[in-house]
Structure 1
Amino acid sequence: MAKAFPESSMVVRAISPNVTTLSVPFLRFNKVKFGGRATIVKLATGNLAVFSPVNLTAEARSAVESMGGRVGYIVAPDFEHHMNLGPWKQEYASATVIGPEGLYEKRKSQGNEDVPIDIVYTKENKGSLKLPEELANVFDVEYFDGHVNKEIVFNYKPERTMIQADLVFNLPAHEQFSKSGVDATSGIWTKLATHFLNIHGKGQQRFNWYAAPANKPSFAESVKVVAGWEIDRIIPCHGDVIESGGSDVFKHIFQWHLKA
């Protein structure tokens, strides 16, 4: 059974007036201190887009209310970051759900709540899919159909902020464990994961070359698309927020794909 952390462990942080993160402690395989994070973006219309929803706690509800309370979109950006879709969709029933191909079927096979995916990214439609104007006006989007987890990556253009789930990691997860009473760096499995999933050296380069791609040519093409975006901040689901210099970090981590 996965270790449960108290709701009080959630760290709510206003990155900017329009971007708030909900950071929580999370153990991958009940051993690795990965951390988890939802990101909420307030659109010009007042609607909110929630990426990688975490547990819908009282603090999470309060954060939503502080940003106006109008959840218009719930985004499950890959095959792993969907487990809280049910509670969020139940609470915000009018929200449009966005996710990758195959996620609905995966959730059904696992016995998860029946949450339709309203906007589905596929390998075939990734170049032509039109998001609602309030999203399309402010986000670059690239669907990594070649990623093992079917990753949808967003760049909030007004603040040059990339929001993603399992494409870029930045361990250790200091912020996410900061209220848990647990050392984010402790344990042999965490230390091993941190070696491969930090933003320095070649560990994450190797991980993204050998482990992350399901289709390496397609993966590389998506990397090249994202490398052309204007990015300063990167908000990962696992590990600390990369507050600045995001474009250089991205190009360092994926330089093998950029040269492919």
Structure 2
Amino acid sequence: MSDKLVPSNPADVMVIRDITPNITTLSVPFARFGSIEVGGRCTIVRMTGGGVLVFSPVALTPDAAAVVTRLGGKEGVRYLVAPDIEHHIFLSEWLKAYPNARIVAPQGLAEKRAATKGKNPRVNVDDTFFAILQDKRKQPMSEPQPVAPDFDADFGLVYFEMHPNKEIVLLYRPENILIEADLMFNLPALEQYQRVDPATRRGAPGSATLLNRIFQAFMKTEGDLKWAHRFQWYLTSSSDRARFNEGIRVVDAWPFETIIPCHGETITKDAKAVFRRVFEWHLEGKKN
């Protein structure tokens, strides 16, 4: 996320939604390149041993802090997960408020943040990372990299190190819920723009609409998915398609019933069927 694109009034536009008694999402508007409306979403999960895990932190508003108190109690935040090298802008803000939280991030993010020293006041390059997922191409995708006993007990993990953004995908085991960032979008981002006045949206009139339509053709989950298939096949997985396919099959084997993406609508119905449609070519191991 570019700091210039962060909503200036997050408390006014944030949509807070209880997915289950143990999971609450914080959805906010976010326009990629200032015009493509993909939205942003943070997922707060109650851990079985106490405290919460925060996946893809967004602005820490008073209402967001209240969710942490409600779900995490005295334990507060135990883990802050940067799901890829793009979703990290608010890590420092949350770590300052919850100094005992442990940051889980992909390889390369610390270096990326260090390169922004003095350029982005939101990023504290001295933040300590607890677990950095590594590129382990010789290790089967079905063997997750361990984080910590309490984390591993609650969450299944697949790390797509070959993805351009280096994606961390989680399964919340107690409720069979898949939580992910840029592995799969579900546009348009309706909930994330629910509290935004259309007249205030960024982008020149007409141009944003055209860009949105083009991007949504690649990032939708309904209707004709030929462009979505091509995007995943030729771009997302191109650096190591065989390993990407392996990771998709591991995720597909998880018994998830809901998908919470960072961009677009949460999928609470037929989530496994939707996932299989989007990644049809990868599950088959071939292009149609």
Do Structure 1 and Structure 2 share a fold, with TM-score over 0.5?
yes
Deviating more after overlay: 59-68 vs 86-95: 59-68
Q: Does 1:94 align with 2:119?
A: no
Give the Cα–Cα distance (whole angstroms) in 2 for the partners of residues 199 and 222 of structure 1: 19
Matching residue within 124, 127, 132 for 1:120: 132
User: Is the CA contact 2:144–2:159 (under 8 Å) kept in the aligned structure 1?
Assistant: no
* Kept in 2: contact 1:51–1:74 (CA 8 A): yes
Amino acid corresponding to residue 146 of structure 1 in structure 2 = M
- Pair 1:228 & 2:232 matched: no
1:162 is matched with which residue?
Answer: 178
DSSP-derived class of the 2:216 partner: helix
1:210 aligned partner: 234
Identity of aligned residues (%): 38
SS of structure 2 residue aligned to 1:72: strand
Q: How many residues align?
A: 260
Q: Show the 5 A alignment for 1:58-69.
A: 58-69=62-73
Task: Indicate the residue corresponding to 2:83 in structure 1.
Answer: 77
Larger deviation, residues 102-111 vs 124-133: 124-133
1:6: how far off? 2.1
Is 2:107–2:132's contact at 8 Å kept on the other side of the alignment?
Answer: yes
The whole-number CA distance in structure 1 between the counterparts of 2:169 and 2:43 is 13
Question: Structure 2: how far apart are the matches of 1:205 and 1:231?
Answer: 21
Shift in CA distance, 128/14, structure 1 to aligned 2, threshold 3 Å: closer
SS at match of 1:140: strand
Match of 1:39 in 2: 43
Given that 1:153 and 1:163 are in contact with CA atoms closer than 8 Å, whether structure 2 keeps it comes out as yes
Q: Deviations over 1:166-205 (max 9, x none)?
A: 0111001110000112289971111111111110222322
Shift of the 3–150 alpha-carbon distance from structure 1 to 2, 3 Å rule, reads closer
**Counterpart in 2 of 1:135?**
151
SS of the aligned residue for 1:137 comes to: helix
What's the RMSD between the two structures over aligned residues?
A: 1.9
Aligned counterpart, 1:197: 219
Alpha-carbon deviation of 1:3? 6.8
Q: Point out the structure with max Rg over C-alpha.
A: 2
Unaligned runs of 5+ in 2: 118-122
